Amino acid sequence: MNTRQYYIAFKSILHREIVRFTRIWVQTLVPPAITMTLYFVIFGNLIGSRIGEMGGYSYMAFIVPGLIMMSVITNSYSNVASSFFSSKFQRNVEELLVAPVPTYVIIAGYVGGGVTRGLLVGLIVSLVSLFFVDLQISHLFSVIFTVFLTAVLFSLAGLLNAIFARSFDDISIIPTFILTPLTYLGGVFYSIELLPEFWQGVSHANPVLYMVNAFRYGFLGISDVPLTVAYGIIIAFIAAFYGAAWYLIHTGRGLRH
């Protein structure tokens, strides 16, 4: 196969992934907007009015970047995890394995679908936030670069989850026991500077912390961690997850029956 044929294969997988979640948009795009609206009302308006300022900004303005990032993380991850496992469960993925399609094209197609859904949901949540706060962007590059890298990272993580999963129940284990705690403890609702020194050190072991803070820097110009460190960690995780996914798919580990 030549480059044009590889592109057609990538476009076909990506198109299928996009059609899959847009066809049921009421289930994939609307719920995140409703959930985040509740966060804005409860944490932003009701609780935020009592908390006051954080980092020199209103509490609502402080948590909005974190809530947008949380929606991107969740939807990028769940889209690829559910889609790839469904293909594996229905034996459709075996057709890709025997087809003359490079492994990186398969990964790019599925990850592209997850990134598209994650960014689309992030945009929807951002538009919803405008009803509650005057959203301003201090560093546009940081906003775009961070949200794109994060969507790629968690799409790859969802792909790994799907490869290792043996049943539909396995798809929910990682989000419930790992992803959700990491997200809530990743500085979405607070600055780690409020924590005791020991717990600040513990928080720095949470990779989500770096994504949330790099994204918040793009909006507000403040961050609890150095941006170079944040981007370095995100890119390192992407490289590690991609390498693991490529190896598992290329060798058929957990995919061949």
190-193 long-range CB contacts below 8 Å, 24 or more apart?
190/54, 191/54, 191/55, 191/62, 191/224, 192/224, 193/224
Domain span at 231: 3-251
Residue 180 lies in a domain: yes
Q: SS3 for 253? A: coil
Whether 256 maps to a domain, the answer reads no
The reported pTM is 0.93
Asked whether residue 43 carries a pLDDT value surpassing 60, the answer given is yes
Task: Provide CB contacts within 8 A for 228, sequence distance 6+.
Answer: none
pLDDT (tens digit per residue) in 170-187: 888 888 888 989 998 898
Contacts (Cβ under 8 Å, ≥6 apart) of 33: 121, 124, 125, 128
Whether 257 is in a domain gets the answer no
pLDDT-wise least confident of 119-123, 150-154, 176-180: 176-180
- 66: closest CA among 141, 140, 135? 135
Residue 139 belongs to a domain: yes
Out of 60-64, 76-80, 156-160, 226-230, least confident range: 60-64
Residue 70 lies in a domain: yes
Number of structural domains (the chain) is: 1
Q: Does residue 246 form part of some domain?
A: yes
Closest CA to 48 of 32, 66, 33, 31: 66
Q: How far apart are CA 30 and CA 33, in angstroms?
A: 5
Residue 190 domain flag:
yes
Residue that wins the pLDDT comparison between 194 and 52: 194
**147 in any annotated domain:** yes
